[in-house]
Structure 1
Amino acid sequence: MNGADMLCDVLLANGIDVCFANPGTSEMHFVAALDRKPQMRCVLGLSEGVVTGAADGYARMADKPAATLLHLGPGLANGLANLHNARRARTPMLNIVGDHASYHLEHDAPLTSDIESLAWPMSYWVGRAAGAIDVRATTEEAYKQAQLKRGVATMILPADAAWGEVAPIDLSPVILPQRPRISTEALRHAAKALRSGKRTALILSGRALRSKPLETAGRISAATGAAIFSQTSDRSERGAGRVAARPIPYNIDLAVETLRDFEVAICIGSGQPVGFFAYPGKPGTMLPPGCDVIELADHESDLAEVLGMLAEESGLGADAPFMPNRLGQSDIAAPTGVLNAESITIAVARRLPENAIICEESITSAGKMAVLAPQLVPHDHIALTGGAIGIGIPLAAGAAIACPERKVVALQADGSGMYTLQGLWTQAREQLDVVTIVFANRAYAILQNEMRNVGVNDFGRNARRMLDLDNPELDWCLLARGMGVEAARVDTIEQFADIFAAALTRKGPFLIEARI
């Protein structure tokens, strides 16, 4: 038995049975060990951004980490953008990054790099196995930190630690300590604010946006009049029978206007909302000056328990009433007119199957999906969290692997989709049940909007050449078919509605290029 075998055994003992991989020479002993473990599902990504993005989508839906296998520092570097998104989503993930044999590092071979320095900005924990005897403890600590911190843990595996011999041993799952308790003083402060009659906002993030915590928030809202808002989070459970949380707008002016009358903000799951970017003459935070901001709990706490404690401290019982969303999907009229983001999302909303997973990287083409979501059948929504584009296609792949019995509907902007196009190949190889809708506006429309936000309304030749994708035009049907995914192009909303309905009746990956 070698260190790589021990690594596999520790992963499996702790319920990690999926490994998203793009290995290289230094990881071959680990690949051989994986081959000896049929319990482990190994999923190849043709770029490391696919690997890390898919591991993110998997963990968001499976509620447990996946492992990734990356080749040395450059392989890790290729996956960093989606590790940034996973870090912002507080996704538990265990990266295994190979390195040269420890005695080979002194030679400064061409692929030698400072892996620790590359890993730390996107990880909550980084560790290195000093040798084969150290693999078990390092792997267990990586798992423990990924779970406790709800985040990315990166373990560096030198080649000699992988091939070195170790003695077999009986393994047990790592026992995790209790999650951190919230401040009693902050809890009393929040409950008092809710009873005070002041205009109060409950601002929820992370696992506070699952159905049961949302019910508790709904009971608090019904009893106190507090408004419920959501920040961009790893996963939101939406639809009829659940409680709606109003998304805080991305646009800073709209966000400030939305929140301007609140006197108290109780933040559960993360800190107070801030602007994605700074703009001349505009605030960086969205709450009004003088607002009493109570940061009650962060992602590491048990947020369902925190909301239960807040309800109890506010004098509410578990049977206090709340207002669930009413099912109104059948009342949505069929869209007519031009094919655009609004008509497409209306068409999707009308047909969305129960328990579907919406994976959204539509950027400027969000349309009416968020507005319509409360009245649709129950479904999950996973989105771009950290702002690093190129996560949508692999995120959908990971979600589909975690939940093979559920339909995944991916709303994908064309520019960001090109970053990790290779994820379609993984969807085809694994025969994942994903319908990808590409909003083909042939532009980096988000950047055009940001140019206007800083006061530039007329684009010259150089600006247009950096913001447009129309010369040459991307042919998404050809690209998808080249990756093994069936595809169709639509130019009218009627065509879209028909093809989307047909795509929902079949299993496996399918892509619709909607030329808006």
Structure 2
Amino acid sequence: MRGAEALVGSLVGAGVDVCFMNPGTSEMHFVQALDAVPEMRGVLALFEGVATGAADAYARVAGRPAAVLLHLGPGLGNGIANLHNARRAGTPLLCVVGAHATDHVRHDAPLESDISALARTVSGWVHVCGDVRDVADDAVRAVAATSERGGQLATLVLPADVSWSEGAAPAPALPAAAPFPPAPSRVAAAAAAVREPGAVILLGGPALTAEAMDAAGRVAAATGSRLLVETFPRRWDTGAGRPRVDKLAYFAEEALAQLEGASSLVLAGARSPVSFFGYPGVPGDLVPEGAAVVGLADAASDAAGALEALAAEVAPDATAEPAPWDAPTPAPGRLDVRSLCAAVAATLPEDAIVVDESLTAAAVLAPALQTAAPHTQLALTGGAIGQGPPAALGAAVAAPKRPVVAVQADGSALYTLQALWTQAREQLDVTTVLINNSAYAILRVELARTGAGEAAHSGRAGRMLTLTDPTPDFVSLATGYGVPARRVETTEDLLAALKWAQGEPGPHLIEAIVPALG
């Protein structure tokens, strides 16, 4: 058996049966193995950043790793932004990178590069397979490594000659690493903290499942502690019927205001909060002065179990207060960000997956969705934009019976718009609401916040932050990729377009024109 066939068969045996890919010459034997191992589903992407973003979202939704297949160092480099997002999310993800045949490396051919060095910037585990007899064992070790540390990226570098050589055999799967159980000492410290007035519990990572949120809600109901969710959650079960919890604000000044007066900050699956960027005169550490930081559970721990243990300690008879199913009513007339977000919330299907890369609209979208139908949210965990379209693709592959609604900023959409082609090819139920304000609006805000000044629309600096002259035509771009699309400018038209998109199978895009900021 050839090495590639044994590798693919071993991946399937280990539970990895979807591979997003943008392959090249060095990966052709892996591609051919899809015929020999039909249990592996191959999903073609037109750009490596689409493949990596899709694999990240697939794993977040499915709860198990997908594989992504990339071509040599440049292919890995093209996909690294969304691998960065996956690393920050703690996503279990297997990255297979094809390499030159072992004997060909000495020639320093044009595509030769240090793949392992690139991979280590985002991977917790990196290995180069050196012998066809080891390829299957290496594959199952790589899959097992994805579950370590609460979830991480594992990269297996696969030379072409290892793929094409004979002498391999599939290997049995290794057990996945289990999360660390709740530590009694940490539960006791958290219990002491939340019994004092002014405690804040910051929820993140694995503490955002429906069960974990319910346990946190019971603790809050019994103790008066405040709950906050990290700014960019990897996967958050929220909406009506679940505890209503605000996100920690993106801007440091607003986050500091939310945390002001906290006596302690209990971390449940979340990192201690810091400002996204450094600003003149603004602290980077967002923990209030004098507040104790108490680590209940980190990303590698059983955060849900820790919250359940905390609830059993301090709230044995409490009941979490659920958010009502009462989405805001969108105002009629010309669209703006507020009416757009209200329309998305009002029409959100039950059990949907919402992919949020709305950027400047996120502060409005989050509260609007709090009382929408119960759903799961995926956010831009690492800040590397261009995650939204691929994440919607990966989520839809992972959960084909759940509708996916992507709320997408226009500037970041242009990084990975090729994902629409794969959505069309796979006929995935994704509705993309593309917010078109013809600008990098977040950067207009940041220009002033960093002290650089204001950008006039007509100035040279302002021209670097606009998406005009020409303005991208997203309806034409979407239809060119095979996705039906409409452009809307009023609330009434947006509601009609959402009904149209959600009323028939396959992907759709709605280009929503809203006023630019500033």
Q: Deviations over 1:408-452 (max 9, x none)?
A: 111111110000011010011111101111111110011111001
Q: Deviations over 1:317-347 (max 9, x none)?
A: 3x53221222223xx3242233111111111
In structure 1, how many angstroms separate the alpha carbons of the residues matched to 2:220 and 2:63? 27
* 1:143 maps to 2:143: yes
Displacement after TM superposition at 1:367 (Å): 5.7
Q: Which residue of 2 aligns with 1:357?
A: 353
In structure 2, how many angstroms separate the alpha carbons of the residues matched to 1:182 and 1:76? 37
* 1:209 maps to 2:205: no
In structure 2, how many angstroms separate the alpha carbons of the residues matched to 1:92 and 1:308? 24
Q: Which residue of 1 aligns with 2:470?
A: 472
Displacement after TM superposition at 1:111 (Å): 0.6
Q: Deviations over 1:177-233 (max 9, x none)?
A: 4323454433322111122x2310110101211100011111111111111111022
Judge conservation of contact 2:207–2:304 (CA < 8 Å) in 1.
Answer: yes
In structure 1, how many angstroms separate the alpha carbons of the residues matched to 2:179 and 2:361? 38
In structure 1, how many angstroms separate the alpha carbons of the residues matched to 2:90 and 2:404? 21
Q: Which residue of 2 aligns with 1:275?
A: 275
Q: Which residue of 1 aligns with 2:424?
A: 428
* 1:33 maps to 2:29: no
Gaps of 5+ in 1: none
SS in 1 for 2:121: helix
In structure 2, how many angstroms separate the alpha carbons of the residues matched to 1:177 and 1:50? 28
Judge conservation of contact 1:133–1:166 (CA < 8 Å) in 2.
Answer: yes
Q: Which residue of 2 aligns with 1:497?
A: 495
In structure 1, how many angstroms separate the alpha carbons of the residues matched to 2:90 and 2:342? 31
Judge conservation of contact 1:341–1:366 (CA < 8 Å) in 2.
Answer: no
Judge conservation of contact 1:85–1:387 (CA < 8 Å) in 2.
Answer: yes
Q: Which aligned pairs between 1:498-513 and structure 2 lie closer than 5 A?
A: 498-513=496-511
Q: Which residue of 2 aligns with 1:368?
A: 364
In structure 1, how many angstroms separate the alpha carbons of the residues matched to 2:333 and 2:475? 24
In structure 2, how many angstroms separate the alpha carbons of the residues matched to 1:109 and 1:477? 42
Task: Call closer, same or farther: CA 1:59–1:178 in 2, change over 3 Å.
Answer: closer
Q: Which residue of 2 aligns with 1:409?
A: 405
SS in 2 for 1:375: coil
In structure 2, how many angstroms separate the alpha carbons of the residues matched to 1:334 and 1:294? 41
Q: Which residue of 2 aligns with 1:159?
A: 160
SS in 2 for 1:110: coil
Q: Decide which of 422, 429, 447 is 1:451's aligned counterpart.
A: 447
Q: Decide which of 426, 429, 441 is 2:437's aligned counterpart.
A: 441
In structure 2, how many angstroms separate the alpha carbons of the residues matched to 1:327 and 1:496? 21
Q: Which residue of 1 aligns with 2:376?
A: 380
Q: Which residue of 1 aligns with 2:23?
A: 23
Gaps of 5+ in 2: none
Displacement after TM superposition at 1:6 (Å): 1.3
Which AA in structure 2 matches 1:370?
A: A
Q: Which aligned pairs between 1:17-166 and structure 2 lie closer than 5 A?
A: 17-149=17-149, 150-166=151-167
Which AA in structure 2 matches 1:36?
A: A
Judge conservation of contact 2:197–2:224 (CA < 8 Å) in 1.
Answer: no
In structure 1, how many angstroms separate the alpha carbons of the residues matched to 2:394 and 2:97? 20
The TM-score normalised by the length of structure 2 is: 0.96
Q: Which residue of 2 aligns with 1:337?
A: 333
Which AA in structure 1 matches 2:189?
A: H
Which AA in structure 1 matches 2:431?
A: V
Task: Call closer, same or farther: CA 1:297–1:367 in 2, change over 3 Å.
Answer: closer
In structure 1, how many angstroms separate the alpha carbons of the residues matched to 2:464 and 2:136? 49
Q: Which residue of 1 aligns with 2:295?
A: 295
In structure 2, how many angstroms separate the alpha carbons of the residues matched to 1:88 and 1:350? 31
Sequence identity percentage: 46
Judge conservation of contact 2:144–2:177 (CA < 8 Å) in 1.
Answer: no
Q: Which residue of 2 aligns with 1:400?
A: 396
The TM-score normalised by the length of structure 1 is: 0.96
Q: Which residue of 2 aligns with 1:198?
A: 197
Judge conservation of contact 1:132–1:165 (CA < 8 Å) in 2.
Answer: yes
Judge conservation of contact 2:431–2:510 (CA < 8 Å) in 1.
Answer: yes
SS in 2 for 1:240: coil
Task: Call closer, same or farther: CA 1:367–1:344 in 2, change over 3 Å.
Answer: farther
SS in 2 for 1:162: helix
Which AA in structure 2 matches 1:305?
A: G
